[in-house]
Amino acid sequence: MRSFYRTPDGVAARQGLAVALATSAYGISFGALSVASGLDVWQTCVLSLLMFTGGSQFAFVGVIAAGGVAAAPAAVASSALLGVRNAAYAMRMSPVVGPGGWRRAAATPFTIDESVAVSLAQQTPRARRVGFWVTGVAIWVGWNLTTLAGALLGDVLGDPRAWGLDAAAAAAFLALLWPRVRGRQPLAVAIGAAAVAALLTPWAMPGIPVIAAAGVAVALGWFDPRRPAAPAAHDENGMP
């Protein structure tokens, strides 16, 4: 057993379990906040079972907490926008998971930030597969268990403002986002999107600032000054 942990597969499994342990802790915050936002324990657990993407879940309950049931369409739109990145992850992970529709279908719910990051950090194809599956499955199990624990705890605590749970979504999401803000372009996108959301929040319907901020992020990302310019067209004689 000890020799296994020294192999590339063992290293991948160990990294995946470590990441799962750290990430699952956020589930307690999500469960408590979700119940405090008006969802019951079962609704909270179903969100983690089926949606299973931390950023989208925090966005959903955050919008519901601010605007109630009337803000449900904006909550769905906000969480969907944040979940779009998983589609890009799926394309990148397709060769790692391997051929076969059933294999890719089974991998779909586990294609998240952490499983992709651990997988791509490995050196061999087999270790990448091990890292992906161990991380994704371990986080899914841990996240759902801690969601239940947080929901039960939040149901007992009462007023979320007395415990600071009304700010838990923003704090947890910032903790997830901050390690990814590296370099000038990501920092500019983060600042621009945050500024637009802050300006719209006082008067816009809950959820709309998130959608508007996503639009700003896309626009700033599209006009990346570091992107190389398209080559100039040349005629048949090679002249521009």
d(CA 28, CA 150): 4
- Nearest CA among 123, 136, 35, 152 for reference residue 90: 136
CA-based torsion, 72, 152, 161, 175: positive or negative: negative
d(CA 182, CA 33): 29
> Is 165 a residue whose pLDDT tops 50?
yes
Q: What share of the chain is helix, strand, coil (3-state, %, to 5)?
A: 80, 0, 20
* Confidence (pTM): 0.70
Predicted confidence band at 136 (pLDDT cuts at 50, 70, 90)?
Answer: very high
- Nearest CA among 194, 198, 181, 188 for reference residue 220: 188
What single-letter amino acid sits at 219? A
> Is 212 a residue whose pLDDT tops 60?
yes
In the chain, domain spans: 4-169, 181-226
More confident residue, 114 or 198: 114
For 25-45, the pLDDT digits (tens) are: 888 888 888 888 888 899 999
CB-based contact 59:154 (threshold 8 Å): no
